[in-house]
Chains A and B, each alone.
Chain A
Amino acid sequence: MAELQQEAQENVKPEKIDPKFKYEVMKHPGAEKIQMCFQCGTCTADCAIARFSDFYKPRKIARIVQLGLKNRLLGNPMLWLCTTCFTCVDHCPQGVEVSSIVRALRNMSVGNMNEMPFIYKVFASNVLKTGYVYLMPESRLKRRGAEGLPPLPKSNVEHVTKLFEATGFLETLENASTFKNVNLKTGDQDG
């Protein structure tokens, strides 16, 4: 992020602007109304995260999309700070689903830059392997019986794998590099 900020001046030169970027974003479900954002800042004022972070400001994200400054957003680690509480979606007077725009940008970052937070790679790999987000320890599965709970059904891993393949995410997942943390002080990745 620090680097990205240094680059900011250079980035706003016309040749760095991608006028079609907002249309790419708008193709994603929920991100259709990005152009309706008139920068009132309600999303940022009411954001659970923005008050703790100098880098995660939903109003700015919306503006950068509108301006087409693609390189300042895609791959920017601060995108991963949204908790998806959806307060911004409920409060936006223009009906913009700000949180869905962040999701679109995360999806595009993963797709274009081939990079995602480590935890998401772990979760996705677990789902691929077992159908569940967590690898259930054998002891816990056994304890279910003792607790009078029915066995946890085996997920249909074959189906899950086919869905990973069909959506093209299997390849993305295999090749994706990862980072561990988003540093709140610098807005950059750690680890």
Chain B
Amino acid sequence: MADLEYLFFLGCLIPYRLASYEVSARKVLNKLGVKLVEMPDFNCCGFPIGPVNFDLALSLAARDLCLAEQKNLNILTLCNGCFGTLNDANKILKEDEELRDRINSYLQQVGMEFKGTVTVKHIVHVLTEDVGSEKLKEQVKKPLTGLRVAQHTGCHLVRPASHVGHGDNPEDPHVLKELIRLTGAECVEYTDETECCGNPIIGVNEDLPFEIAKEKLDHVKAAGAQALITVCPACHMMYDFNQPRIERAFNTSFRIPVLHYTQLLGLAMGFSPEDLRLNELRVKPTELLSQIQ
């Protein structure tokens, strides 16, 4: 496997709703010398199938992993959900022989076999572990000095710790904070940073996720952050797309722009807001952009 070459697992929510994440990620990764190989005929990682039939979810994930094994490339995802699901399937299928045999018996129907020869990485892991802070620093041409932002790492990037690996601390995540500081921006602390966005249950109950997301936005606002930075499309949808609805539901006002980390990094690397599709955010980052320009 060549260094910095990955099979790009796009997932479903990003092409459906968040081109801004894909466009900005492709731009910054390209500039950093990361080669993305397009993934042929991939399918859903299995995340929304796990609750109804875990064997099928594992089979769908394993099929994606088999595609990567055939190409002999590690997987790069932009989504916490895809990362968590594929990484979890990879781990338990490697460790549980009985389960692996059962899933492989299903995969036999499509002429595939899970072997467990590749690794699954989220873009955060690729940036920190493979690209490295030195190379990132070199590419920061327009440091975002004076900008105060908060981070939301999200659950599936760090939990369950025993399944995820990669060394972040789920009780006090620091990896994304360090990535933010590399852009020159200040990363402010706030209350209950590890609180879940609530998105996974929005289909069965909307009130509860809105309440949880409102708490998060309250805390971020109280900390004086000018933006919230996410690395997951589902978390992003919760805080950006749903923000006006949350404001209406609780008769309050946040107006906190929510940027994909790749947009923040892209700005620091000198890409224009148009290049990074900042105009596609629901909560417009007008003030933030006028400050850094």
Tell whether, in the assembled complex, residue B203 and residue A120 are in contact, meaning their CB atoms are under 8 Å apart.
yes
A165 nearest CB neighbor, chain B only: B109
- Could you say which residues of chain B place their CB within 8 Å of the CB of A99? 160
The smallest beta-carbon distance between A134 and chain B, in angstroms, is 4
Q: Which of A97, A123, A136 contacts B160 (CB 8 A)?
A: A97
Q: Determine whether the beta carbon of A159 is less than 8 Å from that of B208.
A: no
Residues of A within 8 A of B (CB): 28-30, 48-49, 52-53, 77, 80-87, 89-90, 97, 99, 103-104, 106-107, 110-111, 116-120, 123-124, 127, 131-134, 136, 140, 143-144, 147-150, 152-156, 158-160, 162-167, 169, 172, 180-184
In the complex, the answer to whether A83 meets B196 with C-beta atoms within 8 Å is yes
CB closest residue in chain A, given B202: A119
Would you mind naming 8 contact pairs between A and B with Cβ atoms under 8 Å apart?
Answer: A30-B92, A87-B194, A90-B170, A107-B53, A127-B60, A144-B19, A159-B43, A169-B55
Contact between chains at A103 and B19 (CB < 8 Å): no
Q: B49 touches which one: A85, A123, A156, A183 (CB < 8 A)?
A: A123
Among B7-15, B118-126, B135-143, the stretch in contact with A:
B7-15
Q: Closest Cβ of chain B: how far from A65's Cβ, in Å?
A: 16
Complex contact B50–A127 (CB within 8 A): no
Contact check: which of A28, A156, A183 meets B43 at CB < 8 Å?
A156
Q: Whole-angstrom distance between the alpha carbons of A110 and B43 in the complex? A: 23
Does B41 belong to the interface (CB within 8 Å)? yes
Report yes or no: B204 in contact with A181, Cβ–Cβ below 8 A: yes
Residues of A within 8 A of B55 (CB): 167, 169
> B212 on the interface (CB 8 Å rule)?
yes
B116 CB-CB contact with A under 8 Å = no
B201 at interface by CB-CB < 8 Å: yes
Least Cβ–Cβ distance between B164 and chain A, in angstroms = 9
Is the pair B53, A172 in contact by a Cβ cutoff of 8 Å?
yes
| Interface: B59 (CB within 8 A) | yes
Tell whether, in the assembled complex, residue B204 and residue A81 are in contact, meaning their CB atoms are under 8 Å apart.
yes
B16 touches A48 (CB 8 A): no
Cα A152 to Cα B40 in complex, Å, equals 9
Give Cα A180–Cα B205 distance, bound, in whole angstroms: 9
The answer for the CA separation of A155 and B110 in the assembled complex, in Å, is: 13
Chain B: interface size category: 35 or more
In the complex with contacts A123-B48, A127-B49, A181-B205, A153-B160 CB distance below 8 A: no
Which residues of A are found within 8 Å of B105, using beta-carbon distances?
Answer: 166
Cα distance, A82 to B231, chains bound together (Å): 22
- What distance in Å separates the Cβ of A151 from its nearest Cβ neighbour in chain B? 9
Given known A-B contacts A80-B201, A120-B51, A152 and B15 have beta carbons under 8 A apart? yes
Given known contacts A103-B54, A166-B109, A182-B204, what 17 new A-B pairs fall within 8 Å (CB)? A48-B195, A48-B196, A48-B198, A81-B201, A83-B196, A85-B159, A86-B159, A90-B170, A123-B203, A124-B52, A127-B43, A127-B60, A133-B47, A156-B110, A162-B109, A163-B59, A183-B205
CB–CB B19/A120 < 8 A: no
Give every chain A residue within 8 A of B196 (Cβ-Cβ): 48, 83, 85, 87
Residues of B within 8 A of A140 (CB): 15-16, 19
Please indicate the chain A residues that have their CB under 8 angstroms from the CB of B152 in the complex. Answer: none
Q: Do B201 and A83 touch (CB < 8 A)?
A: yes
Rounded to whole angstroms, the CA-CA distance of A162 and B53 in the bound complex is: 15
Give the distance in Å from the alpha carbon of A157 to the alpha carbon of B212 in the complex.
37
Q: Could you say which residues of chain B place their CB within 8 Å of the CB of A181? A: 204-205
Closest 7 CB pairs of A and B: A119-B203, A86-B159, A85-B196, A89-B160, A131-B43, A166-B106, A133-B12
Select one of B38, B43, B92, B162 contacting A160, CB under 8 A.
B43
Instruction: Report how far A119 CA is from B49 CA in the complex, Å.
Output: 11
Please give, as numbers and ranges, the residues of chain B lying within 8 Å of A162 by CB-CB distance.
109-110
Expressed in whole angstroms, the Cα–Cα distance for A169 and B48 within the complex equals 14
The listed residue with most B CB atoms (<10 A of its CB), out of A52, A53, A154, A180, is: A52
CA distance A83 to B60 in the complex (A): 21
CB pair B53 A53 closer than 8 Å = no
Residues of A within 8 A of B212 (CB): 48, 52
B15 touching A89 by the CB < 8 A rule? no
> Which residue of B22, B40, B106 has the most chain A CB atoms within 10 A of its CB atom?
B106
